[in-house]
Structure 1
């Protein structure tokens, strides 16, 4: 990852910037309306939403400017050994700079530290660069969703052993 980029745990002061990133990126891919993470109430208070047991959210900064983030948390309605990679979004200025692979590694390492044995994620067809990152990171596509994420708008699912 380039030297100027920095990954760190989310802080309360980051909530508005993270919400702005999520709300800017999701419409790019048609992820608006019911069934998408953009409507999750936690988008406005991500720091608090990830201050639960076995959860972590990280932000990526470039010269102090927050440009993206992503996290892991227990898979709602899933088995206790499975976490979910959640709300990993980058503004265009961050894409293609190695931040995705670095943040993915940080999230997966954290999931292992928390004792998870698998990591699940949901995405959308059309998020091609993200899907290439998931596959390079060892995720394999599965046919149906797991758990009860509430993101009925997603149409592509991945799982990875940790």
Structure 2
């Protein structure tokens, strides 16, 4: 992946991004009063090769003037039919409200569909108000079965029938 949205570069994660990507995610979590869990829900950020690249997923970073300002990722899950879970979709406060989140979600969906997956799952927390609004306004339907402790919402979207 290498794409631009305005003057933001969306590209594949590289090993040198590990610390900076983790810092973005940790910062956004703390902004909303959620804990960074390097041995739990966030260990995938520190082990991208194992959790994403080796499983058929992807992990992207968003750069602005050489600084990482956001992340977005997905990997296959055993949750539905040919399903993936979108994870680690975070943007720093300074780059929110520009349409970047919606564009990132659309690009993730396009990449997922191109790989033949049929369902997308997303877990989030109610306190992430902007994320909840984004998912609900882009066709994600509430579901059940939250698996991550700090999350209290789960959504699913079908990619079948050309959606």
* TM-score interval (norm. to shorter): 0.7 to 0.9
Alignment correspondent of 1:159? 156
Alignment correspondent of 1:63? 65
What SS does the aligned partner of 2:28 have? helix
2:83 matched to 1:86?
no
Normalised to the residue count of structure 1, the TM-score between the two structures is 0.85
Q: Report matched runs for 1:2-151 at 5 Å.
A: 2-32=5-35, 39-75=41-77, 77-79=78-80, 81-142=82-143, 144-145=144-145, 149=147, 151=148
Normalised to the residue count of structure 2, the TM-score between the two structures is 0.85
**In structure 2, distance between residues paired with 1:3 and 1:132:** 22
What SS does the aligned partner of 2:54 have? coil
The alignment of Structure 1 onto Structure 2 pairs a total of residues equal to 156
**In structure 2, distance between residues paired with 1:106 and 1:3:** 14
CA contact (8 A) 1:14 1:47 kept: no
What SS does the aligned partner of 1:52 have? helix
The alpha-carbon deviation at position 88 of structure 1 amounts to 0.7
What SS does the aligned partner of 2:126 have? coil
* Runs of 4 or more consecutive aligned structure 1 residues displaced over 6 Å after TM superposition: none
Write the deviation string for residues 32-72 of structure 1: whole angstroms up to 9, x where unpaired: 177x9974322223355321242011111112211001111
Structure 1: which 5+ runs fail to align? none
The alpha-carbon deviation at position 153 of structure 1 amounts to 2.3
Query: In the superposition, relative to structure 1, how do residues 80 and 11 fare at CA in structure 2: closer, same or farther (>3 Å)?
Result: farther
What SS does the aligned partner of 2:63 have? strand
Query: In the superposition, relative to structure 1, how do residues 102 and 38 fare at CA in structure 2: closer, same or farther (>3 Å)?
Result: farther
Write the deviation string for residues 9-28 of structure 1: whole angstroms up to 9, x where unpaired: 11111111100011111122
RMSD: 2.2
